[in-house]
Structure formats: structure tokens, C-alpha cells
Amino acid sequence: MFKIIRTSILDLFDSKMRLVFLKTVSISIIVILGVTLLFWGLFGSVQIFELNFLNKIISWIIGATLFVIASAVLGPMMIVIGGIYSEDIAHHVEKKHYPNRVGHRFVGVVESIKTGGRLLFKSLIVNILLTPIYIVGGFFPIISVLIFFGVNGYLLSRELFEIVASRHLERDDRLLFWKANRGGSIFIGVTIMCLSTTPLLNLISAMLGVIITTHFFQYRTNARAIQQRLDMD
């Protein structure tokens, strides 16, 4: 897995990926600034009680909730951005490293954005439902962090895998293949989720997520093919 991650990082700076890299980073900056300004505008603007200290308490609770939700949906939003160029990214990686196993199915921008949008909707709903747990978990930060990154990393892994595998497999086959490789896929999802909530690194999280997942899919596909040949022998 670490060899895959190292290769993926090097792919980020490939000369043929430079234009896609600049486009992805530029859009990511715009989205992050938009989310930040929205959060900043809503935070601390609550005036419910006449007593200032009560207003401050309510404001901090609302602010903390918005921060958690914004952090949770930032990863999916990056995937929506990555979805715009996911076909180009995956195709380039496969053509460079796996020329004999390039995806035969073209995944259009609309389909990729739909996949990212579905993830964004799921993440928003799930994290709104989990907000009380996050707030109560403030007394046990480690548990809250584990739940946050575990749940959102899982959701992220499913959609990243869907984006890449849809170039090769039909829906039922994609589900079976993901179940057989869910451990590595979830690890990737959690890793990308951590990157998406880290300043500056979140600029490359979308593109890196597609690249790593492409390498992982190809690695597991090849491993399965080898095992099948061994079983036949």
C-alpha cells in the first residue's frame, strides 16, 4: 500500500498531469474559500437571549456543529471537483503504468459529478445525524475523532472506488469487488479524508484520491487474475 501511495504522489507531478493538477487545485481553492466564508458568516451571529454569555454559548455550539459538518463535507466536495477530471486522471495513470489494462468504458463528467454529489448528500445527512454524538464526544475527543474519520472515510472509499471501478466493471461486479477489497479501500478513504481536512494538503486530496484508488484497483485486479490462473493450474 505504501508503494502505491509513493507512486501516486510522484504521479501528481507528472508533466502530462500538470494542467489537470493546476485546474483541480484552482477549483479546490475557490471551494475551500467559499466554505470558509460561509462558516465565518454564520459563526457567532446568533442572538437568542438577552444575556451575552448565553448567546456566546449557543454561538459556540452552533459554530462547532457547523465546523464539524463543513469538515465532513469538504472531502466529498473535493471528490466532486475530482470527478470533473477523474476520467482524465484515471486514464493517464492506467495508460502510463498499466497500458494493457486501460479501462474500456468511458465515464463522463456528468456521471462522475453524480457520484460525487451522491457522496456529498450522504455525508451531509450522516454527519447531521451524528452531530449530537460529536458534541457529547467532546468530553472524549479520541472517540469523536475515530468516529468522524471512520464513518466519513468509509463513505469516501465507496465513492472513490465507484469512480475508478466503473471504467472497468458493471455495477454488480463493482460491489462484489469492493467487498473483497474493502480493507484497503477504506484505508485509502480514511487517508484521503485526513488530507481533505488538512490545510494545503486538501488542495491535492481530490486528485490524489483518484490516483491512489486507480493504482489500488489495478493492483488488486492483477492479483486476482494471477490467483485465478494459479487455481486453474
What pLDDT does 174 receive? 83
**Confidence label for 212 from pLDDT (cuts 50, 70 and 90):** very high
Q: Which of 36, 126, 18, 128 is nearest to 74 (CA)?
A: 36
Structural domain boundaries in the chain = 2-97+104-225
**Contact call for residues 115 and 83 (beta carbons, < 8 A):** yes
Report how far residue 174's alpha carbon sits from residue 178's, in angstroms, rounded to the nearest whole number. Answer: 6
What pLDDT does 74 receive? 63
DSSP labels, the chain: -HHHHHHHHHHHT-GGGHHHHHHHHHHHHHHHHHHHHHHHHHTT----SSSHHHHHHHHHHHHHHHHHHHHHHHHHHHHHHHHHHHHHHHHHHHHHH-GGG--SS---HHHHHHHHHHHHHHHHHHHHHHHHHHHHGGGSHHHHHHHHHHHHHHHHHHHHHHHHHTTTS-HHHHHHHHHHTHHHHHHHHHHHHHHHTSTTGGGTHHHHHHHHHHHHHHHHHHHHHHHHHHHH-
**Terminal Cα distance for the chain, rounded:** 28
Average pLDDT value for residue range 196-201:
78
Instruction: Give tens-digit pLDDT for 125-172.
Output: 887 787 777 767 666 778 878 888 888 888 888 888 888 888 888 878
- Calculate the alpha carbon distances from 109 to 35, 106, 130, 142 in Å: 23, 10, 31, 38
Give me the residue label for grid cell 497500458: 99
Residues of the chain with pLDDT > 90, as a percent, come to 3
> Which pTM value belongs to this model?
0.75
Report how far residue 17's alpha carbon sits from residue 25's, in angstroms, rounded to the nearest whole number. Answer: 12
What pLDDT does 83 receive? 66
Instruction: Give tens-digit pLDDT for 42-91.
Output: 554 544 444 455 556 666 666 566 666 665 566 666 666 666 777 888 88
Least confident of 67-71, 108-112, 224-228: 224-228
Highest mean pLDDT among 3-12, 24-33, 141-150, 184-193: 184-193
What pLDDT does 209 receive? 87
